[in-house]
Amino acid sequence: MGHILLFLMLSIPILCLTDGAETEQDFTWHLKKVPQIVSERTFSLDSPKFEAKAKLELSNVCGIECQRRLPGPSLSDLKEFLSYETVFENGTRTLTHVNVLGLAVGAAKNTTTRTSSRRKRQIYGTDSRFSISDKRFMTNFPFSTAVKISTGCSGILISPKHVLTAAHCIHNGKDYIKGSKKLRVGLLKMRSRGEGKKRRGAQRGKRDVSVARDHSERTSELKQRSKGRGRKQKATGRSQKTSDSKPSFQWTRVKSTQIPKGWFEGVTGDVSLDYDYAVLELKRPHKKKYMELGISPTIRKMPGSMIHFSGFDDDRSGQLVYRFCSVSDESSDLFYQYCDAEPGSIGSGVYLRLKEPNKKKWKRKIIAIYSGHQWVDVNGVQQDYNVAVRITPLKYAQICFWIHGNDENCTQG
């Protein structure tokens, strides 16, 4: 029953009530011309120390209340904030200065729309998360786009070789965190009962060591299953098929990591949530379907003001966890939202589903990165909230530039 409910939530368009009648609103992906991010100069830097401690809950950062009192960044500021560091697999590091073209004056000014009061929460009351354990859902789009980062976060596939995640999963504002030197990305796969046998048949005659290892694993697996035969096997019936599937990860090394300079302390005064995003380039491409980037619409142009994201929450080890909730507040760079989430889901790609222009089809795109449960200083008092970093036209241009290496494919989003 749970799977049927989940399917309905993912596939049925949001309906709105107007004068007592139920009507489908025209929520559409509108193509926008985006600014250009152009690389100007690249410098070599000393290798990072990789000694920082991971800090998945940030404090003393400039959130929405802080932004309300600040003027929008100037063009020169944006050039500084959008310049970026690249760290390669061998530990070398570069800094690339960029220029921003085609940005209208005043376009970066922060605005907010408050729709409800804020409440303190991570998980409270009824936990509204869904654990995705059925192979039909877990290994299919859109859930198959979620990945696990070896530093303990989540991420999302945005190309055959690129993953989008939160910057503070890699860097704490001062240095790259421990474990990010040999960064890996885990793609979720399902190990079924017959997989070992098929794999041995496909590799026979190629690598004797692999065959021997598979044979050992198969023998051990058969011994464990033989213990569960009899009454227990008869009682479980069809449910036995579900227990035979074990989630596992196919791990891939990261070739390079790119983080905007606006995330680093001393550039924006302190770490800024606006720039809490990073792109990881994989050493080997994958064959999974990935999620396309989209420019984040305002709350009013989102069906039900609803967002969705899936990640690997710490309290549900080995499970992919999906959730959805409405956005309650926004600035030009941040979303306040109250989705139930635990550490481990940080870095998940936040997406929504809108119509394609001039078509009846609906399409999912990433419109934000989940930054996690954060503390901010509001009028001298520490308050907490869950936040997501919006993909603005500037961020779309930068992330697209990181993926393609040029701005030719990044003129519209």
The pLDDT of residue 277 is 96
Residue 203 to residues 190, 206, 218, Cα–Cα distance (Å): 19, 5, 15
The pLDDT of residue 413 is 66
| Closest listed residue to residue 300, CA positions, set 325, 273, 329 | 329
| Closest listed residue to residue 372, CA positions, set 391, 334, 333, 345 | 345
Residues 260-273, mean pLDDT to the nearest whole number: 76
Mean pLDDT (the chain) is 75
pLDDT category at 280 given cuts 50, 70, 90 is very high
Choose the weakest-confidence range: 105-114, 146-155, 179-188, 350-359: 105-114
Q: Cis before residue 142, ω within 30 degrees of 0? A: yes
Q: CATH homologous superfamily for 28-190+248-404? A: Trypsin-like serine proteases (2.40.10.10)
